[in-house]
Amino acid sequence: MLEAVTRDAKWRAELELDYERRGQRTVLANRRHDGPLAVQKALYPEGDEVCHTIIVHPPGGIAGGDENEIAIRVRAQGHALLTTPGAGKWYRSAGPRARQRLTFDIEPGAVLEWLPQETIIFNGALAEMDTEVRLCGDGCFIGWEIFCLGRTGSGEKFTQGVCRARTLIQRDSKPLWLERADLDGAGALLSPAIMAGEPVVGTMVSARPGLDECLLRTCRAAKPRSGTGAVTLLPGLLVGRYLGASSEAAKHYFMQLWRVVRPAVSGREAVEPRIWRT
């Protein structure tokens, strides 16, 4: 695999998806894409009410200067689950920053699940990620992000570059959650004293009014295969964390939490996207 992408062209990609409930079925009513972002056909492995969609990025990774924008709206009473076919990659940059912006709008009675595969941040990458989740009424959201700093499978460490990430979740325009991360490969944040020298970090957030201590206790019974996991309950939010050396362990841990949280958030048992089994 190339250490960096040397092409001169900078790619800007946009994807807009609009889901709505028609009778008993959630449909992908509108889609618009520009540049190298697309979706495969809508899938219904658990019946008509939930629309599964796979987002595809044909270049396979994001290079310096690239900009990706994904906007998803789930209209009232709809339910959409989105994932990706494989790990995302942010390549080493010779100078320009790469940016990604995610915007999720979830109307009353709707559910959006954002469950991508892990994101690998190459050594020397300059990455900026911004995510906004805008909930209305009793709209619900489940989402996770797993960052692998460096290509650990080949022994690469994240000793150069920067990964900046911002996540804002709000309900009826009132903030529920705001988090900023500034992961500098040469900085103290990645030191053994702060991140235990571990390269994989993940956050899972579930948003629904009325999440309770009983759900928290059940989630805390789940343990990762390796590394450390933790779950915290905040007003209207359940937050899961992973820190360790394995993106597979992070995914397995979050899937355990998802199987517990999904029925509480959406009233539906967990049905894995088929792409996860390939």
Q: Closest Cα partner for 165 from 119, 196, 122? A: 119
pLDDT of 192 reads 54
Q: Closest Cα partner for 134 from 108, 100, 165? A: 108
pLDDT of 153 reads 84
Beta strands in the chain (DSSP E): 12-22, 25-34, 38-39, 51-56, 67-74, 79-83, 88-90, 98-106, 111-114, 119-121, 126-135, 140-149, 162-171, 174-184, 200-207, 228-234, 237-244
Does pTM top 0.75 for this prediction?
A: yes
pLDDT of 37 reads 93
pLDDT of 194 reads 57
Tokens at 20, concatenated: 């709505």
pLDDT of 252 reads 97
Q: Closest Cα partner for 157 from 122, 117, 202? A: 122
Q: What is the pLDDT of residues 50-103, one digit of tens each?
A: 999 999 998 889 999 999 999 999 999 999 999 999 999 999 998 899 999 999
The ranges of the chain with pLDDT < 70 are 1-9, 187-194
Cβ atoms 119, 147 nearer than 8 A: yes
Distance CA(132)–CA(110), nearest Å, equals 16
Q: What is the pLDDT of residues 256-277, one digit of tens each?
A: 999 999 999 999 999 999 899 8
Work out the number of other CB atoms within 10 angstroms of the CB of residue 31: 14
